[in-house]
């Protein structure tokens, strides 16, 4: 007769490849049930966007079948996002705050930030997107939104909601085309209001679309929220990589962990299947290597990415099975994995 202890002993041989610990010591195994030769249990991952979910499930099933007398193994894959310290602001709680930045404009940072947030949400996480690009708030157009919901009975303002995503942008609060000629104190006040005056609720991930460069908004955000980590978007072009390196140095000075580098507009897929490297090749990957940071992935130069944003229907929603969407989803899952690893490191350090 199979016992729970035999099942647990088998699962002690199954490792989480990212955290490099076994599933039992990580307390990922729950609800073990045994019915004759049938064994069932739950594996509770640290994020619903785990990029190695299928591998972990397959390893667990294979190990229990080989190390016990089980004839059938039924695994329920679920997730509970872990954090080192939840950012608690009254009614608002953020388990992870992820800043998306770039060294310069025009590299597709806002498009990438939006699609990453949507990918995390579509995987089952509770996600918010803060458009902190005060001077160029493009997120409302990319989502086909032009206003916030009508104010309800609560004291706080409700964010816009679409595709399971909560969204706040200065673009909802000013007239279209109105320039914002603000100095540092006003920018800081706006960021504070985005955080405290809106009813974000309890989020697994708050994705923050930063303005390009290394200015006041980045400093204000670092002073206002404990940021779990930052990602930097660049094209392969050397001038973009140079500016991305400056952004990385800024995050280092602000003591914000760098989750990794994303290379956007990496190549153009030709009709014959070949690739044309319009802006150079592997610039983002080389930068990640120089910084000893993760290379989170590359996104092709695809006209549909821009067009889908222009019509308010982002690519991961409009064409979820396209190569561009698959690249963005993979990158979002890699970021979620980095957030889990950072939380694990901090928790281990006490």
User: Do the domains 87-348 and 4-79 match in fold?
Assistant: no
Q: What is the pLDDT of residue 152?
A: 65
Q: Give bridge partners of residue 175 from the DSSP assignment.
A: none
The closest of 229, 188, 189 to 206, measured between CA atoms, is: 229
Per-domain boundaries in the chain: 4-79, 87-348
> pLDDT tens, 272-301?
989 999 999 999 999 999 999 999 999 999
Output the six-digit token pair for 44. 């509770």
Contact between 248 and 284 under an 8 Å Cβ cutoff? The reply is no
Indicate if the pLDDT at residue 349 is higher than 80: no
> pLDDT tens, 302-322?
999 999 999 999 999 999 999
Q: What is the mean pLDDT of the chain?
A: 93
The closest of 141, 103, 111 to 327, measured between CA atoms, is: 111
Indicate if the pLDDT at residue 258 is higher than 90: yes
Q: How confident is the model at residue 221 (pLDDT cuts 50, 70, 90)?
A: confident
Q: How confident is the model at residue 214 (pLDDT cuts 50, 70, 90)?
A: confident
Q: What is the pLDDT of residue 83?
A: 80
Neighbours of 262 (CB within 10 A): 32
Host H or E run for residue 297? strand 295-298
CATH of domain 87-348: 3.40.50.300
> pLDDT tens, 175-198?
777 777 777 788 888 888 999 899
**Which range is least confidently modeled, 197-201, 210-214, 257-261?**
210-214
CATH of domain 4-79: 3.30.300.130
């Amino acid at each position: 007769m199979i016992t729970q202890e035999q099942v647990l002993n088998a699962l002690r041989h199954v490792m989480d490849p990212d955290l490099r610990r076994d599933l039992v010591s990580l307390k990922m195994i729950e609800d073990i049930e045994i019915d004759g030769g049938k064994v069932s249990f739950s594996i509770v991952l640290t994020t619903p966007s785990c990029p190695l979910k299928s591998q972990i499930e397959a390893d667990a099933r294979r190990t229990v079948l080989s190390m016990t007398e089980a004839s059938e193994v039924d695994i329920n894959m679920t997730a509970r996002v872990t954090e080192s310290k939840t950012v608690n602001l009254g009614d608002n709680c953020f388990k992870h705050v992820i800043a998306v930045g770039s060294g310069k404009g025009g590299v597709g940072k806002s498009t990438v930030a939006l699609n990453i947030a949507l990918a995390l949400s579509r995987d089952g996480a509770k996600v918010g997107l803060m458009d902190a690009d005060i001077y160029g708030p493009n997120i409302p157009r990319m989502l086909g939104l032009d206003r916030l919901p009508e104010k309800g009975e609560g004291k706080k303002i409700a964010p816009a909601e679409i595709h399971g995503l909560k969204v706040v942008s200065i673009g909802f609060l000013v007239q279209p085309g109105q320039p914002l000629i603000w100095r540092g104190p006003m920018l800081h006040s706006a960021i504070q209001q985005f955080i405290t005056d809106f009813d974000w609720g309890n989020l697994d991930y708050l994705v923050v679309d930063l303005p390009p460069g290394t200015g006041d908004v980045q400093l204000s955000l670092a002073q206002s929220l404990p940021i779990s980590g930052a990602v930097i978007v660049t094209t392969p072009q050397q001038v973009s990589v140079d500016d991305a390196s400056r952004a990385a140095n800024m995050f280092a000075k602000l003591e914000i962990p760098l989750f990794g580098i994303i290379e956007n507009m990496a190549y153009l897929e030709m009709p014959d299947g070949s690739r044309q490297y319009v802006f150079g090749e592997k610039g983002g990957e080389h930068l990640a290597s120089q910084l000893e940071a993760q290379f989170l992935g590359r996104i092709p130069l695809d006209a549909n990415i821009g067009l889908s944003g222009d019509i308010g229907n982002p690519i991961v929603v409009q064409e979820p099975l396209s190569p561009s969407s698959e690249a963005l989803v993979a990158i979002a899952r890699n970021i979620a994995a980095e957030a889990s690893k950072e939380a694990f490191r901090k928790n281990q350090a006490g």
